[in-house]
């Protein structure tokens, strides 16, 4: 089988990881990279280094990956859609809803495959959690709580923590529960002297009366990526840094210590850390998009799904600015 010819736009902090994976991806050949600043991390391998997207389009690759700063997503995506080139775009899809909808419509009108790189969907811990939720292992889901914090990434200058980091939590929460957002309320802070927010606390309601909350910042020396899903039979705790999933079961044995029983509300049961295969999420993401290009079952994040995440992120920012709960438009 002839390898698919791929072009990569952007060789920065995220682009270099895409280059590493693409250079080792079965059935794919990274033929060219585009970055006017050059290959400063020396990651392109044998791929040609180009200065402009026009040069890449002239090579007519089978598909492209966009890993440039968010503010340039729309212009690159529209150009690739006009050239009929299937494209995987790093998250978030675009800086705002208006930009994102233009990208979606361009690919839909061109009849070209497009996807968004919401990488947490490919984390083994969250994939296991989603499968177990679908199987009814947790029973009715009551709440999804996420924590995502760490040091400020120097690569970010064009968006704040809501659109850069919190979009991970927005997307994974709706996906893992298969429940869209109905409303959000948020508070943000500006602590580092930058134009955009660097801390956010979000509460929300999903379809089916599932409560959610997200605590996200890039001000902490502690790096944390945790999702807690609470339901009628216990709780799943997904640590997506280590791709671990732990189940805390509600106990079947009642405690005789009345004070403790009243305090805890439910009895403590078994604690199980599941064992399952763990593949790098970025590799899984690229395998999925490759399969989509080949017409095989893939499970990519569609442009429409990426659009919805941008819409929720904008509602989070709007809520923080207005002090009101924002209902999602249907």
**How many percent of the chain have pLDDT more than 90?**
86
pLDDT confidence tier of residue 90, bands split at 50, 70 and 90? very high
Residue 222 has pLDDT above 70, yes or no: yes
Q: DSSP 3-state helix, strand, coil percentages of the chain (rounded to 5)?
A: 35, 30, 40
- 119 preceded by a cis bond (ω within 30 of 0): no
**How many percent of the chain have pLDDT more than 70?**
93
DSSP string, 181-205: EEEEEEEEE--SS-SS--EEEEEEE
Q: What is the mean pLDDT of the chain?
A: 93
pTM: 0.93
Distance in angstroms (rounded) separating the CA atoms of residues 196 and 190: 7
- In 67-209, which ranges are E strands? 87-90, 114-117, 141-149, 181-189, 199-206
Determine how many CB atoms are found less than 10 A away from the CB of residue 118. Answer: 23
| Average pLDDT of the segment spanning 201-218 | 97
Instruction: List, for residues 299-320, the tens digit of each pLDDT value.
Output: 999 999 999 999 999 999 999 9
Class of domain 4-120+282-300: alpha beta
Length of the chain: 330
The whole-number pLDDT of residue 297 equals: 87
The whole-number pLDDT of residue 152 equals: 77
Instruction: List, for residues 44-65, the tens digit of each pLDDT value.
Output: 999 999 999 999 999 999 999 9
Query: What residues pair up with 202 in beta bridges, in sequence order?
Result: 186, 214
| Average pLDDT of the segment spanning 28-39 | 96
Residue with tokens 């609470």: 230
Residue ranges of the domains in the chain?
A: 4-120+282-300, 123-277+310-327
Instruction: List, for residues 160-180, the tens digit of each pLDDT value.
Output: 999 999 999 999 999 999 999
Q: CB of 8 within 8 A of CB of 47? A: yes
* Domain formed by 123-277+310-327, architecture: 2-Layer Sandwich (3.30)
pLDDT confidence tier of residue 255, bands split at 50, 70 and 90? low
Distance in angstroms (rounded) separating the CA atoms of residues 80 and 64: 8
Token duo for residue 89: 């775009």
Q: CB of 70 within 8 A of CB of 163? A: yes
Distance in angstroms (rounded) separating the CA atoms of residues 235 and 270: 11
Distance in angstroms (rounded) separating the CA atoms of residues 22 and 47: 10
The whole-number pLDDT of residue 157 equals: 66
The whole-number pLDDT of residue 159 equals: 84
The whole-number pLDDT of residue 254 equals: 60
The whole-number pLDDT of residue 251 equals: 80
Distance in angstroms (rounded) separating the CA atoms of residues 261 and 254: 8
Nearest alpha-carbon partner for 269 in 254, 288, 287, 291: 254
Cα radius of gyration rounded to whole Å, the chain: 21
């Amino acid at each position: 089988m002839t390898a698919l010819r791929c072009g990569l736009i952007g060789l920065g902090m995220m682009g270099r990881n895409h280059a590493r994976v693409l250079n080792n991806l079965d059935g794919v050949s990274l033929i060219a990279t585009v970055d006017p600043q050059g290959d400063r991390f020396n990651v392109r391998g044998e791929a040609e280094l180009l200065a402009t997207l026009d040069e890449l389009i002239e090579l007519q690759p089978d598909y492209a990956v966009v890993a440039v700063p968010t503010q340039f997503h729309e212009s690159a995506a529209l150009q690739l859609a006009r050239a009929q080139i299937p494209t995987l775009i790093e998250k978030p899809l675009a800086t705002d809803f208006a930009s994102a909808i233009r990208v979606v419509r361009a690919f839909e009108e061109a009849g070209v495959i497009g996807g968004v790189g919401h990488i947490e969907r490919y984390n083994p811990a969250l994939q296991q959690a989603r499968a177990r939720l679908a199987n009814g292992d947790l029973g009715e889901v009551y709440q999804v709580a996420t924590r995502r914090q760490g040091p400020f990434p120097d690569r970010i200058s064009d968006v704040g923590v809501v659109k850069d980091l919190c979009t991970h939590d927005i997307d994974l929460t709706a996906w893992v529960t298969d429940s869209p957002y109905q409303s959000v309320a948020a508070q943000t802070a500006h602590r580092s002297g930058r134009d955009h927010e660097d801390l956010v606390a979000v509460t929300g309601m999903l379809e089916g009366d599932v409560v959610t909350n997200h605590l996200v910042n890039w001000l902490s020396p502690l790096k944390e990526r945790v999702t807690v899903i609470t339901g009628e039979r216990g709780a799943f705790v997904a640590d997506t840094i280590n791709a671990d999933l732990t189940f805390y079961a509600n106990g079947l044995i009642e405690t005789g210590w009345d004070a403790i029983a009243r305090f805890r509300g439910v009895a403590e049961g078994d604690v199980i850390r599941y064992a399952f295969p763990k593949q790098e999420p970025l590799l899984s993401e690229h395998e999925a998009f490759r399969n989509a290009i080949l017409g095989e079952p893939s499970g990519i994040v569609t442009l429409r799904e990426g659009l919805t995440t941008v819409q929720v992120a904008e509602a989070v920012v709007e809520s923080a600015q207005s002090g009101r709960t924002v209902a999602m438009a249907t």
